[in-house]
Amino acid sequence: MKFSDIPGHDRVKRHLRQMVDDGRLPHALMLHGIPGIGKMALARALAQYIHCTARTPDGDSCGVCPSCRQHSSFNHIDTFYSFPVSKDGSKTVTSDDYMSEWHDFLSRGMFMDFSLWHSLLGKKASQPLIPRDEARALMRKVSTTAHASDRKIVIIWLPERMNESAANAMLKLIEEPFADTDFILVSDNPQEFLPTIRSRCQAVEIPRLADADIAGWLVGAHGLEPQDAASVAHMAEGCMTRALSLVAVDDNGGNRQFLDMFISLMRLAYQRDVARLRIWANDLTALGREPSINFYAFAQRMIRENFMYNFNEPQLVYMSRDEESFSSRFARFITVRNAPRLVEAMNDAMTDIAGNANGKIVNFDLAIRVILLLK
């Protein structure tokens, strides 16, 4: 993983490179921020940069030296990964027992999705944690001499998932580090792990990705049209895994189906076609609870975007081409009078469905409320 492979985060990349180049890299570094923004990718790029034997003039690892090739295959002998694992009955387990799954996980993309990792653990997937035995295994690894370079690097993904005994054991390891060992902790929520560990790490906050960086990645890596990519990036709110999940939903017809259902709801409500709205409510219920909730989240966004469309400020509107095609005719019906109440009605429906209310009743009630609000 090279720094140049990672979208965005130019300021953070410069900071990390400079610490290495100036010999100021702390023995324990913590990269933290919301999930899905490339923190682990930055940790991997930093480790590769440290070990690279032919760094480029523009401040990156070369990608071709033996160390870089070993990093690319997750097999650098002086780099150790630690991550949450699941118990296998009463058997003692550590990260070493899940290395094949871990390599599979990393090979699927640079943006870490904990739910995907959870699923890759399969039937053994009780709530994944970093156990005490993990700290003991790391102690054995870092106590040996570095083999291929002059630095050993330990990358710990989600240290907040250490249980208490593991955290205390890891604290000792970080408090009394070996001179040739660097720790890079990658955290989604540093407030959830031992304060004494946090205090011994130099923290670097990784910001959310800019919409332009997400959109550029979706266009270049996934072939989206620029307008569609911009819409997805806006919905993702700085999280690439969220953006990728939205793209996957769209590829599977999910967003297209939601758009069709939204259009039907609004047209039938405008026409006050109660009989067909009852059929619409039953069709939505048949999708299931989670898809129904997701539909209402989609519908809320469409209400907001249609309201903004009325201001004739294109830079404020984030819709796909199909969404905008409908909204160009429909947006005039969404006004300051009804937009907040429509969003509130949909939020009520989401809450009721999440609480296991009867979907047919909830959805039909929502449809009637839309009739009144479009009046």
- In three-state secondary structure terms, 73 is coil
**Class of residue 336 by CB neighbours under 10 A (exposed 0-12, middle 13-18, buried 19+):** exposed
pLDDT, tens digit, 9 for 90 and up, residues 199-215: 999 999 999 999 999 99
Give residue 123's pLDDT. 57
pLDDT tens by residue, 253-270: 456 788 999 999 999 999
The residues, ordered by sequence, that sit 6+ positions from 355 with a Cβ below 8 Å of its Cβ are none
Least reliable range by pLDDT among 33-37, 244-248, 340-344: 244-248
pLDDT tens readout for residues 242-252:
888 777 655 54
Band of the pLDDT at 72, cuts 50, 70, 90? very high
Which tens digit of pLDDT belongs to each residue from 148-205?
A: 888 999 999 999 998 888 888 888 888 887 888 999 999 999 998 888 898 999 999 9
Looking at per-residue confidence, does 230 or 4 come out higher? 4
Give the per-residue pLDDT at 298: 87
Give the integer Cα–Cα distance in Å for 272 and 371. 6
Q: What is the CATH number of domain 3-207?
A: 3.40.50.300
d(Cα 284, Cα 45) in Å, to the nearest integer? Answer: 45
Extents of the domains making up the chain: 3-207, 253-374
Whether the CA torsion 351, 119, 169, 16 is positive or negative: it is: negative
Give the chain's mean pLDDT: 89
Give the DSSP per-residue string, 159-189. Answer: GGGB-HHHHHHHHHHHHS--TTEEEEEEES-
Topology (CATH level 3) of domain 253-374: Zinc Finger, Delta Prime; domain 3 (1.20.272)
The Cα 371–Cα 269 span in angstroms is 5
Greatest CA separation for the chain: 77
Q: Do domains 3-207 and 253-374 have the same CATH topology?
A: no
Query: Which ranges constitute the DSSP H helices of 22-76?
Result: 39-51, 66-72
For the entire predicted model, the pTM comes to: 0.74
Question: For residue 126, which of 166, 88, 90, 157 has the smallest C-alpha distance?
Answer: 88
